[in-house]
Structure 1
Amino acid sequence: MIFSKWIRFTKQAGRARIGLHLSPQKILAVKVEGDEPEFEQRSVPSADKLIATVSQLFSDTGWRGRVQVALSAELYQQFQMEKPKIPEEEVSAALGWNIRDLVKEPVTELVVDYYDLLQHAVSAPKVNLVCTRRSLVQELGEAIAEADCYLQGVTTWELALADLITEPEPVQVLLFQPAGAEPLLLAVHQHQLCFSRQLRGFSELANAPLGTLEPFIFDNFSLELQRSFDFIVSQLKLPETGKIYVASAAPDLGALVKKLHDVFDLPVTLLVNKAITTGVEYLPAFAALTEAEGAG
């Protein structure tokens, strides 16, 4: 969980756990209390109506509980950089000033946090710095508090999804693709997100059966996957990919899984949970609850 030190809102009682995936276009939400999760989504009329739409969601549903939020890529920025050799409690502030020439907003208007990247012996320690608008976190917390809920934390959709991979070894890849979207590749090793990449030009894989697509589409897709696998080994100095998980809206998942297995000769497993059976687009909201559990 990131941005945890910026959360300063009164804790409310409530057994339900609520996950939100926020983007400028849509809010996807899941509430877990008992055996059967509840799912909701709301369209956001315009970017400046995001917080108002969050408030309306809670008003419509009457949901109460602990809320964990996953931000879509449009709502945060991230930068990879070397970790300064200073006390841990000073790192976020120091890194914040390091990005002042890389962001449009004044650093004082951002909340900044980071997570450590896996380190190999020949390189200096590195981190992924993540930042978002301070006003977004503040207004989000206020809206959730007004709904008699407790904002437990804010994270990114990539970190939330990575927490669904629970095996420490070997390097494992998650391919996530809702309908109409480009595939997202996440590589996880030793419970840490070590690589992420949006694979452009392959939205058709989630929209039409594999057998109806031109063969070059999957050929190019597998080539981009192999390039990613090679990068993980050659540049990140990590072991070779050992397993692929798939969470996709593809209409013929069995054919996709078989094709991936045939090409890469790796175990390929469909990720299955109640969010995916409802709609794969709900997975980041559901995954945010997994990260909240891990955060204790």
Structure 2
Amino acid sequence: MSPPLFGRAQNKKSQLSLGLRLGSQQFSLACLQAQPESPLLQRVHTEATSGLEDFSQKLTRLVDQWQLHGEIARVVLNNDLYRLLQADTPNVPEPERDAALAWSLKDVLDFPATEAVISSFLPPVSPRGGNERLFVAAAHKAKIRPYVEKIAAAGLKLDTIDIPELCARNLLTKLNPPIPSIAMLVQSGRGAVIYVFHDNELVISRPLAGIGDMAVLFSGYENRQLMDQLVLEIQRTLDFYESQIGRRPIGKLVLPPLPDELTPLPEFLRQNLNVALLSLDIATLLPTDESIDKTALPQAWLAVGAALRELPVSEVQRATG
């Protein structure tokens, strides 16, 4: 039987931790080796795929090549495989909460509520004057289960299924010194998204209206309107956090490892935003093997974040039955 979605399988202890990022046209695998002080990032790999069967064949080949049979994998979903919503906390006993949430969100889901797998968690702070609202990660079982089966068939043991927002958080917790209020600008499959973390806990995950692929901004065409829109949407998010949630300004705006086509982005943001910018360098967060293919990190950084998932399991990862 497949392990429960968003849950954990009980497995033997291992010195390795694997993070597997599922993408619509590619996957990434990161391998961490346990060490006394901090895990060592041993390997990362990104590979294009052309469908589920191609993914299965290429993952199986990689598991064989890296000799990973029986190892634990922590999966991070692509944005087209889940939705992160917010909802009022239902007035039901906690064991019934996720079922009640699925029913309350039935009108905004694009699949039947009875086919939803739901996991929810409470932000550390709520907007000023507002009710407590849960973050709700919702996925369609029919879309997730084929991946679960292919991962098991490749020889890996599925431990958790996570979302990008929380895998990004896992990396940010490695910053030294820590930054109490931090935002991250991310290119997702659905467009540009900004995450905001308050004391290392997610408080905002917001798609930036009108901004699809940020690489278009630097494609050589006149894109001043889109550039202005990007700056406006980021600033709106930072202002909302400061005035309504954090009661303090954002300390840093973080950029994950970027592909070549987004090389101009950091300088553009420095010139147009009044916030300190930090380009995330995985090698400064974790000991990293010298043989690592750094060109894979713009696609694989979330896989690294998934591999960093610490136990015990958090609220968002509990099995939903």
User: Aligned partners of 2:10 and 2:312: how far apart in 1?
Assistant: 21
Asked if the contact 1:163/1:287 (under 8 Å) is kept, the reply is yes
Indicate how the Cα distance of structure 1 residues 132 and 174 shifts in structure 2: closer, same or farther if over 3 A, else same.
same
Relative to 1, partners in 2 of residues 1:151 and 1:120: Cα closer, same or farther, differing over 3 Å?
A: same
> Matches of 2:45 and 2:212 in 1, distance apart?
29
- How far 1:155 moved relative to its partner? 0.7
- Deviation for aligned residue 1:19: 0.6
Matched, 1:204 2:210: no
Q: Cα–Cα, structure 1 residues 106 and 205, in superposed 2: closer, same or farther, change >3 Å?
A: closer
Give the letter aligned to residue 307 of structure 2: L
Distance in structure 2 (CA, Å) of the matches to 1:205 and 1:277? 23
Deviation at 1:71, TM superposition (A): 0.2
CA shift at 1:72, angstroms? 0.9
Of 109-118 and 26-35, more deviation after overlay is shown by: 26-35
Query: 1:63 aligns to what?
Result: 68
Q: Which moved more, 1:80-89 or 1:70-79?
A: 80-89
For 1:289, the equivalent position in structure 2 comes to: 307
TM-score, normalized by length of structure 2? 0.74
Cross-structure match for 2:51 = 46
Alignment of 1:98-113 (within 5 A): 98-113=104-119
Deviations 1:70-126 (A, max 9, x none): 001100123211012333222112111212233243323221111212324632211
Alignment of 1:217-256 (within 5 A): 218-234=227-243, 236=245, 238-247=247-256, 248-250=258-260, 256=265
Q: How does 1:45-194 map to 2 (within 5 A)?
A: 45-46=50-51, 54-64=59-69, 65-117=71-123, 118-120=125-127, 122-166=129-173, 170-177=180-187, 182-194=191-203
In structure 2, the CA distance between the partners of 1:235 and 1:29, relative to structure 1 (3 Å rule), is same
Q: Structure 1 stretch 261-270 or stretch 229-238: which is displaced more?
A: 229-238
Aligned-partner Cα distance in 1 for 2:251–2:13: 42
The runs of 5 or more residues in structure 2 that have no matched partner are 35-39, 284-291, 315-321
Does the CA-based 8 Å contact 1:152-1:292 persist in structure 2? no
1:52 deviation in Å?
5.8
2:294 counterpart of 1:277: yes
SS in 2 for 1:129: strand
Provide the aligned length of Structure 1 versus Structure 2: 289
Contact 2:9 2:160 survives alignment (8 Å):
no
CA deviation after TM superposition for structure 1 residue 257, in Å: 3.8
In the alignment, which residue of structure 1 is the partner of 2:204? 195
SS state at 1:95 partner? helix
Q: Indicate how the Cα distance of structure 1 residues 177 and 76 shifts in structure 2: closer, same or farther if over 3 A, else same.
A: closer
Greater mean deviation of Cα atoms: 80-89 or 99-108: 99-108
The one-letter code of the counterpart of 2:305 is A
Q: Which runs of 5+ in 1 are unaligned?
A: none
| 8 Å Cα contact 1:205-1:250 kept in structure 2 | no
Which 10-residue stretch deviates more, 102-111 or 75-84? 102-111
User: Structure 1 203/120 Cα, relative in aligned 2: closer, same or farther at 3 Å?
Assistant: closer
Q: CA deviation at 1:289?
A: 1.6
The alignment's C-alpha RMSD in Å is 3.5
- Given that 1:70 and 1:160 are in contact with CA atoms closer than 8 Å, whether structure 2 keeps it comes out as yes
